[in-house]
Structure 1
Amino acid sequence: MTAVEFNNRIQFLIPSLEPFAMKLTKDHSNAKDLIQETMLKAFSNKEKFTTGSNLKAWVFTIMKNTFLTDYQKTSRRKTFIDTTDNLHFINSTNIEQKNAAYSNFAMDDIQAAIEDLEDIYKRPFVMYFRGFKYHEISERLNIPIGTVKNRIFLARKELKQILKVYEM
């Protein structure tokens, strides 16, 4: 495979890498950095790719390994060594305990806010929240997919307004 063919094929993989990067990093900018680092490693190691094997799996493996390596480096930076006689490792991050009552109040308010939604907004929103895809909701409620998306959007908007006190 020529370098141009390799570059063209690998460019088409970027849209499929984005969800995986988001799943790993849980942050949009970190996900973009991870994709960029993955692409750099793939381009610089293209001679290690075996023609005929699965390019997508190869690139996903690079991404996973890059993420794990960076995660381990970050974890090591947050740990320091106590040089006293017992020689044990202590994690330097702050430990914070929160009162569960606050989260119970928040959950009660969220449940009440969802219950107060109009039924035409509540049903699609709850189904989406439980993991149904837009097209599944559309089929089960017998409404167009655009209407499903609109009702979920409006339900979220109303819930954000009602639960504004919990914004951070």
Structure 2
Amino acid sequence: MTTLEFNYAISKTSKSLKPFAFRLTKDLEDANDLLQDTLVKAFMNRDKYTDGTNLKAWLYTIMKNTFITNYQRLLRKNTFIDTTDNLHFINSTDSSVENNAYSTFALEDINNAVETLDESYKQPFMMHFSGFKYHEIAQKLKVPIGTVKNRIHIARKELKEKLQVYAY
């Protein structure tokens, strides 16, 4: 394959590479950069391409490997390595103070929400929360297992609505 034929084949194939680059990077500018890096590598390594093989697959492989290499390089770049002699201060818990205010408020809200449930929903829900299986709850409450599942489902749904402020 001559250089002219190779350039023509790559320019024809490069249009299908852009969506793949976008799927990898999830950003248009990064996708364009990845496409450009891929094409530069393809032109520089033209001698490694074997005539008669799938050019598109070769380009996709170059793009995928370039993306992985760039991603690994980015991870290494963002990794913080402390080279000071005082490494014991990094993980020291002596100077840290734990504040349980948020979890205390959340726990109070959860308990209040559970207490406001109708007794027919609260009892099976709390039993299930305590580790009882559906069939055990059904036997203890003398109701069908389907009723137990339904009541637990309704209790979860009501709690989800009441505690929506904690949804992420």
Q: TM-score, normalised by structure 1?
A: 0.49
Choose between structure 1 and 2 for higher RCO, CA contacts under 8 A separated by at least 6 residues: 2
Q: TM-score, normalised by structure 2?
A: 0.49
Higher Cα Rg: structure 1 or 2?
A: 2
